Amino acid sequence: MEEEARRLEAWLRQGAHGQMAYMENHFDLRTDPTKLVPGAKSVICLTFNYHNPEKQKDPEAPRISQYAYGQDYHYLIKHRLKSLLYFMQEKIGAVSGRCFVDSAPVLERDWARRAGLGWNGRNTLTIHPRRGSYFFLAEIICDLPLAYDDPIRDHCGTCRRCIDACPTEAISPEGYFLDASKCISYLTIELREAIPAGFKGKLDNWMFGCDVCQEVCPWNRFAHRHDEPAFEPHPDLLNMTKRDWVELTEEVFGQLFRKSAVKRTRFSGLQRNIKFLEEQ
C-alpha cells in the first residue's frame, strides 16, 4: 500500500489526527498486512449495516450518532467474523487468519475500496452506490489465496453537499481530506481535554458523534434500515428530552449505555459535551 502509506504520512504530518497519537503507531503494520498475519495472501472485506432512520423525539435534545444507538459493534461484529473464519476452516481446511473490526492498525477504507465495497467519498467515508455509507467495515486477513474483486469508480462527481454542510469545516474545500481535529466526532469522542472555545456554536447540537456528512449525502437515499436486534436503541433513549439529558445522572447513563460504544466517552465526557452545548 505504497500510495496509501504516502497519503497517511502526509495526513499525520499536517497534524490532522489531533490527539489521536495511536494513529502514529505501528505504521508498518498499517501498510503491510503480512506483518499482522504472517503469510497473508488475502484481505476479505465486509460491511455491516447499522442504519436506523428513527430520530430522537425532542428536536432540541442533544443528538447522538445513530451508529451508537445500540450495542457496541466491535464485539458483535467480531463474533460474526470469527464464526465466518471457523466456517472457512471447516469447509476448506487449514486457514490461518485474524479478524479485525476498527480496533487494530488496518487501513479499512483503503482495503474496502480495493475490494469493490465502495469508493472513498469526498467526506472520506466508504460509499456504495446501492447502499450508501451507513455501515461498519470489518476484515479477515488470511493466508488463503482467492479470486479478487476490482475497485469501483468514484461517483461523487461534482457534488459538494458534505463539504458545504460540515458545521466545523473539517472537510477540505475539494474534499477527500478530513482534518479530524475539527471533526465533531473527534471533539465529542476522541478528545479527552476541554473542547476548544472556538467551536462554540458549531457543534450542531451533537453530544456524541455526528452524522451530518452522511445525512446530506445523496447516495444515502438508497440506505435501508438494519435488521440487527442488538443495534436497537434502549427503549428510553430516543424519548429523552433536552432536560433529561441536561439532568443526566451516572446511574441513568449506565442503564442507557450498558453495552454501548458511548461508554468510550464515559459519563464525564458526555457531561462535558452536554455542558459545552448548553454554553453555546
Integer Cα distance of 262 and 255 in angstroms: 12
Integer Cα distance of 204 and 65 in angstroms: 12
Convert the pLDDT of each residue in 201-223 to its tens digit. Answer: 999 999 999 999 999 999 999 99
* pLDDT given at position 22: 75
Task: State the catalytic residue, choosing from 58, 72, 102, 236.
Answer: 102
Integer Cα distance of 274 and 266 in angstroms: 13
pTM for the whole thing? 0.93
Over residues 53-82, the mean pLDDT reads 96
* pLDDT given at position 158: 97
Over residues 231-253, the mean pLDDT reads 96
Question: Catalytic site residue 102?
Answer: yes
Residue 140 near residue 86, CB atoms below 8 Å:
no
With a cut of 90, say whether residue 189 has pLDDT above it.
yes
Over residues 68-90, the mean pLDDT reads 96
With a cut of 90, say whether residue 9 has pLDDT above it.
no
Residue in the structure block whose three cell numbers are 447502499: 131
pLDDT-based confidence at residue 163 (cuts at 50, 70, 90): very high
